[in-house]
Amino acid sequence: MILSIESSCDDSSIAITEIETKKLLFHKKISQELNHSKYGGVVPELAARLHATALPKILEESKIFFKDLKAIAVTNEPGLSVTLIEGVLMAKALGISLNLPLIAVNHLKGHIYSLFIEKESLFPLSALLISGGHTQIIEANSFDNMKTVAKTLDDSFGESFDKVSKMLNLGYPGGPVIEKLAKEGDENRFKFTIPLSNSPLLAFSYSGIKNQVRLQIEKIDKNNPQDIKDLCASFQKAATAHLIQKCKKYFKQNRIKDFAIVGGASQNLYVREKFLNLCNEFKINLHLAPLKYCSDNAAMIGRYAIDAFKEEKFTPLKTLKANPQSTF
């Protein structure tokens, strides 16, 4: 079995995965969303302190599996430096005390592996990662051969939902609340320009939409619930149309058989429906992770670690460190 740890942002999570069967034997996550909600975003120092109490609490519950462990996996990049360190130090301590090898896991690769929890992996695969920190198209050929072919020039998709939510005093995270309000709104009421629609660039940009929404918020009646719902629906429509436009461009330029959407924002059912239509149009298989594994979790980190373990890709104790900015 492999014990995996995730602490790259505001979720403390530990999983135990059986190597041969890929079965998830234990999985627990303590989310800090409520603790950060009043600040409208994650406060790194607070997040680190919360991990320092939550991770040992979960670890205690997983102790019955210690005797069967063969490796310790941990997210070491990218993420918030002070929160990554909490997980990395716990992994090192476990590695030394249980005399086990360590496996460092890139969080973005982990999100791709959310598709393969308790399943075989499928490569080659192109994936759109949409989360709070990232918006990028990744070409994945194997567990250690992945490359980014398009990314955001500024804000990420999930971040734009968080920022719009903050402007409307709807709390953090913004994605779920905006999606819910948008369901009862008129998506055609406000016209927001889709970013980079005349640009040949295969890239994303969300800072412009955010500013258009800010200007519109100044004009609406913030006490009128219907105005807020219409604004959420119109914003979600434009933000999603941008993803669709750029992925359509990518599909036209490349022969894609299997495509996936991963990351916390891939829970959005409006986004899922639009991509289902797009993939049908191009006769592409769309792969989606179960909703419970879209946001940050240790199960996806453990699933990645199984493939790394089989190739004996271990990380020496001395070189394992948190790389907050690292990507690929």
Site residues, Zn ion (CB under 5 A): 131, 296
Q: Is 24 exposed, middle or buried (0-12, 13-18, 19+ CB in 10 A)?
A: middle
Which amino acid, one-letter code, is at 66? Answer: F
Closest CA to 307 of 153, 163, 161, 121: 121
The least distance separating ligand KG4 from the CB of residue 129, rounded to whole angstroms, comes to 8
- The site partner of 110 among ligand KG4, Zn ion, none (C-beta below 5 to 8 Å per kind) is none
The least distance separating Zn ion from the CB of residue 293, rounded to whole angstroms, comes to 11
The least distance separating ligand KG4 from the CB of residue 294, rounded to whole angstroms, comes to 7
The least distance separating ligand KG4 from the CB of residue 261, rounded to whole angstroms, comes to 11
The least distance separating Zn ion from the CB of residue 222, rounded to whole angstroms, comes to 31
109 contact partners, CB below 8 Å, separation of at least 6: 140, 143, 146, 304, 328
242 contact partners, CB below 8 Å, separation of at least 6: 194, 195, 196, 197, 204, 205, 206, 209
- The site partner of 78 among Zn ion, ligand KG4, none (C-beta below 5 to 8 Å per kind) is none
The least distance separating ligand KG4 from the CB of residue 97, rounded to whole angstroms, comes to 29
When asked if residue 195 is in the footprint of ligand KG4 (CB under 6 A), the reply is no
Instruction: Choose one: 50-58, 250-258, 265-273, 279-287; the region binding ligand KG4 (CB under 6 A).
Output: 265-273
9 token code pair: 């942002």
Residue found by looking up tokens 């373990």 in the block? 309
When asked if residue 263 is in the footprint of ligand KG4 (CB under 6 A), the reply is yes
170 token code pair: 């709807």
User: Is the CB of residue 241 less than 8 Å from the CB of residue 271?
Assistant: no
Q: How far apart are CA 4 and CA 55, in angstroms?
A: 11
Residue closer to Zn ion by CB (options 86, 296) is 296
When asked if residue 175 is in the footprint of ligand KG4 (CB under 6 A), the reply is yes
Residue closer to ligand KG4 by CB (options 162, 230) is 162
Site for ligand KG4 in 76-135 (CB under 6 A): 131-133
Which three-class secondary structure string do you get for 208-259?
Answer: HHHHHHHHHHHHCCCCCHHHHHHHHHHHHHHHHHHHHHHHHHHHHHCCCCEE
Helices (H), the chain: 33-37, 44-61, 81-98, 107-113, 157-167, 174-182, 207-219, 225-253, 269-282, 298-310
β-strands 11-17, 24-31: how paired?
A: antiparallel
- The site partner of 265 among ligand KG4, Zn ion, none (C-beta below 5 to 8 Å per kind) is ligand KG4
Site for ligand KG4 in 266-285 (CB under 6 A): 267-268
When asked if residue 296 is in the footprint of ligand KG4 (CB under 6 A), the reply is yes
When asked if residue 139 is in the footprint of ligand KG4 (CB under 6 A), the reply is no
Contact pick of 95, 110, 171, 174 for ligand KG4 (by CB under 6 A): 174
Contact pick of 6, 155, 162, 230 for ligand KG4 (by CB under 6 A): 162
When asked if residue 185 is in the footprint of ligand KG4 (CB under 6 A), the reply is no
Task: List residues near ligand KG4 by CB under 6 A.
Answer: 9, 131-133, 158-159, 161-162, 173-176, 179, 263-265, 267-268, 295-296
